[in-house]
Structure 1
Amino acid sequence: MIIPPQPWPTGDLDQIEPLVARVLAPNASPFTYTGTQTYLVGTSDLAVIDPGPAEDEHLTALTRAIGGRKVAAIMCTHTHRDHSPAAIPLAEVTGAPIVGCAPLVLESSAPRVDAPFDKTYAPDRVLEDGEAMTGSGWTLRAVATPGHTSNHLCFALEESGAMFTGDHVMGWATSVVVPPDGDMADYMASLALLYAREDRIYYPAHGPAVEKPRQLVRGMMGHRRARERQITKLLAEEARAIEALVPVMYKGVDERLWPAAGQSVLAHLIDMERKGEVSRSDDIWTIN
C-alpha cells in the first residue's frame, strides 16, 4: 500500500468511537506507515495503548489529549521501540502503572530490519492470555498472539467488540516475522486464533482500521501459504540462498523493504525445516 500524502494528523486527538480515540506519533517510515497510533480507551479514566516512541512532541500531544483525566493503565502490545519507550516518561507524568506484555530484549549479532527492542520497558503488571484490565465503562482483555514477537499481545475491548492488534494484523502491510524471536508457526497459529473470534473491528498500531477483520485474516493466512508454496517451487528448480529468493518473490516491492522480506522468508524456511520439507547447508537451502 502506498503511504498517503502528507500532511498526516500527527499529534491530533481523533475520537473514532465513543470509547476510543487515537493520537498519531511523528515517526513515519517504510516500516511504520504514517507512524505509531497510540490509542486512548475510556472516558473518565483511560487506558493508553502503545504509547509509542519517547519523543517530546508525541509525549506533549499525549499529555494534552489526556487532559485532567486519570490514566488507569499504560498498556503495551510488545516492546519494539516504536511502541513502548514512551511508557516510562508517561507513567512519570500520570502516575499510571505500566501493564501488558512481558519484557523482552533480544541479544543477537544478526542485523535487524525491524525496530529493535526497548531495553527500558519495565511493566508493573504482565497480563497473561485471558487476563483483563478494567476501568470505568471499559474492559480490555489480553489475547496472546506470538509470532511477530514472542511477547506480543492484542487487547480486546469487550464493550464495543474492537480489537487492538498492535503489529500482529495491520491493514496496510503484512507483519514482519524476524527470527530468532519471531516465529512463523506461532504467527500462523495466532492468525488462526483471531480468525476464530468474532471481533467487530481491528485497530492496528500502524495504518487504517480493519473493518472486515476475518476477511483480512483469512487473506493473510492465504498469503503466507502462497509464499511457502512459492519457496517450494523456487527451491525445486534449484538450491538457493535467501538473497536469491527475495528478488524473485518480491519483484515490484520497494527494495528498501527487501531486507525485511528476507527475514520473513527465513522465518518460513525455518518453519519448513522443522517440518522436514527443506534443508540447509551454510546459506544454501534445498528442497527435500
Structure 2
Amino acid sequence: MKISGTNTYLVGRGAQRLLIDTGEGRPSWSAVLRELLAAEKATVKHALLTHWHRDHVGGVADLLKMCPEAQVYKHDGREGRLTIEDGQIFQVQGATLRAIHTPGHTTDHVSFLLEDENALFTGDNVLGHGTAVFEDLVLYLSTLEKMRNLGAGRGYPGHGAVIEDCEAKITEYIDHRRQREEEVFRVLKFGGLDNGKVRAATAAQGKPRALSPADLVAVIYPDLAEELRLSASHGVLQMLLKLEGEGKVIRDGESEKWMVRGEKAAL
C-alpha cells in the first residue's frame, strides 16, 4: 500500500498477515488498510518496523485501534515495541520473512527477506528512485555488500517503485557511492573534477586549497537546488570521515576544512 510517500506492505495469505511499516499516520492510510483487511477477512498478526523514522512508524496507533492484538516489532524494542533479532523468522500462511539487521540509513534499520520469493524488503537503505541518505558511510557500504550477497531478485523499497533486479540496484548504489567518494578526493587534491586542467592551475597557485563540505558540494553538485545542499553536505561529510579513517585526508581543527594528507593547504 502507498498513500503518497511511504510504502507499506501487507504480506501473506489467510486470516493473519504481516505488515511492514505503518506510514506517516495519515487517515487515508488507515482507511485503506481497514478496507483491505475487511475485504480479505484478515487481521495483522505482526507489524514489523524497518526503522524509527516518523514516516514509517506514524501509523502504529491507528493500526492498534484496528488490530489490538497485533504485535509491533522494532530492532531496538524501544517505546514498548518487541525486539527484532537478526535472523528472526516471522511466518504466516503463504509468507516467511527473515529479519536482517542492515544499519546504514539508520543504526536500527532492518530489512526483511521474503524467503518464499527470494525478494527483499529494503526499507530506506535502497529506494525505488534516487539514492538513500545514511548516517555512517562505512557502515552503510558494509551493509549494502551484505544485502547484495543475499542474491535477492525483486526488491520492495520504503519509497518508490518496486525494484525488479534488487542485486543489480544494490550494485548500482555501491558504484555510485564509490564514484562520489572518488570525486570528493579529486576535488580536494586538484581543486576540481578535471584532473589535468586543475592540476596545472593548482601548481600555478603553489598550494592546494582546503575545503569545507559545503565547498565540495558547490563543485561536485553545481546545479543542486539550494534546499538540498545541507543534506548533500552531510553526505559529503560522511565521505570525508571515511577517507580520514583510511588516512587519506585530514581536517583542520580551527577552520573545519579538509585537505589531502601530506599536502600543505591554503586555508
Deviation at 1:283, TM superposition (A): 2.2
1:163 matched to 2:115? The reply is no
Contact 2:91 2:97 in 1 (8 A): yes
Residue pairs, 1:1-288, within 5 angstroms: 23-26=1-4, 35-44=5-14, 45-67=16-38, 68-95=41-68, 96-102=70-76, 121-123=79-81, 125-177=82-134, 182-237=135-190, 238-281=209-252, 282-288=255-261
Q: Which amino acid aligns with 2:246?
A: K
* CA gap 1:142/1:224 in 2 versus in 1, 3 angstroms: same
Contact 2:153 2:167 in 1 (8 A): no
The separation in 1 between residues aligned to 2:129 and 2:226, in whole angstroms, is 17
Contact 1:242 1:283 in 2 (8 A): no
The separation in 2 between residues aligned to 1:276 and 1:92, in whole angstroms, is 53
Deviation at 1:264, TM superposition (A): 0.9
Tell me which stretches of 4 or more aligned residues in structure 1 moved more than 6 Å. Answer: none
Q: Which amino acid aligns with 2:89?
A: A
Paired residue secondary structure (2:150): coil
- Matched with 1:108 is none
CA deviations 1:163-212 (Å, max 9, x no partner) are 110100113111112xxxx1101100011111112211000011111111
The separation in 2 between residues aligned to 1:128 and 1:183, in whole angstroms, is 21
Deviation at 1:242, TM superposition (A): 0.9
Contact 1:195 1:218 in 2 (8 A): yes
Aligned-pair identity in percent equals 32
- Matched with 1:11 is none
Deviation at 1:256, TM superposition (A): 2.7
CA deviations 1:111-136 (Å, max 9, x no partner) are xxxxxxxxxx531x211211111112
Higher helix share: 2
The separation in 1 between residues aligned to 2:221 and 2:75, in whole angstroms, is 32
Deviation at 1:247, TM superposition (A): 1.9
**TM-score w.r.t. length of structure 1:** 0.78
Paired residue secondary structure (2:28): helix
**TM-score w.r.t. length of structure 2:** 0.84
Q: Which amino acid aligns with 2:36?
A: A
Higher strand share: 1
Deviation at 1:103, TM superposition (A): 5.1
Equivalenced residue count is: 237
Paired residue secondary structure (1:269): helix
Structural RMSD (CA): 1.5
Paired residue secondary structure (1:192): helix
Which runs of no fewer than 5 residues in structure 1 stay unpaired? 1-22, 27-34, 105-120
Deviation at 1:41, TM superposition (A): 0.3
Q: Which amino acid aligns with 1:40?
A: L
Contact 1:103 1:151 in 2 (8 A): no
Deviation at 1:140, TM superposition (A): 0.9
| 153-162 or 256-265: bigger deviation | 256-265
Deviation at 1:276, TM superposition (A): 1.7
Deviation at 1:218, TM superposition (A): 1.2
The separation in 2 between residues aligned to 1:103 and 1:244, in whole angstroms, is 40
The separation in 1 between residues aligned to 2:101 and 2:147, in whole angstroms, is 10
